Amino acid sequence: MLYFETSFPVRYYETDQMAVVHHSNYVRYFETARSMMMESWGMPMHKFEKDYSVLIPILEVYCRYRHPARMGDVLTVSCAIEKVPMARLRIDQKVVNQDGELCAEGYVTLGFIDKDSFHPVRCPEALLNIIEKHINDR
């Protein structure tokens, strides 16, 4: 399994009037962790488009809320990939607070489309190789 995690504090504007992190922000935390993961591979999302002429749209997102994150929390957000992608890439994600409490878990499914034709394509070789390498490393 490929595993990556990154940590950052809750930001004040992410809270809502229930004094917890608004549920929509976990979807943004998921994305932030994915961006940092691709960055750590030397393949940041924003360069991916240019270098491979492939866009990586979100096809679906699921999130199960377990425990509210609050201002003052430092969250660790993780990405896990179990299967080498073909047409789609599923990433399992978790948000855990500084006390080890699971705040939320879910997954996103990403697709690959040609930048010009907007037709679905296979996962580019370069990305495939990185994921394959990391899955086997663990």
Where on the chain is the footprint of a second copy (CB under 8 A)? 8-9, 11-13, 15-20, 22-25, 27-28, 31-32, 35-36, 39, 44-47, 55, 57-65, 68, 70-72
Pick the catalytic residue from 16, 73, 99, 114. Answer: 16
Our answer to whether residue 73 is catalytic in this structure is no
Q: Which is nearer to a second copy, 117 or 136 (CB)?
A: 117
Q: In the structure encoding, which two tokens stand for residue 122, read together?
A: 């296979």
- Cα–Cα distance between 46 and 64 in angstroms, integer? 28
Q: How far is the CB of 136 from a second copy (least distance, A)?
A: 28
**Exposed, middle or buried by CB within 10 Å (0-12, 13-18, 19+), for 99?**
exposed
Q: How many residues does the structure list for the chain?
A: 138
The minimum distance between CB 138 and a second copy, in angstroms, equals: 25
Phi, psi of 19, deg, nearest 5: 65, 30
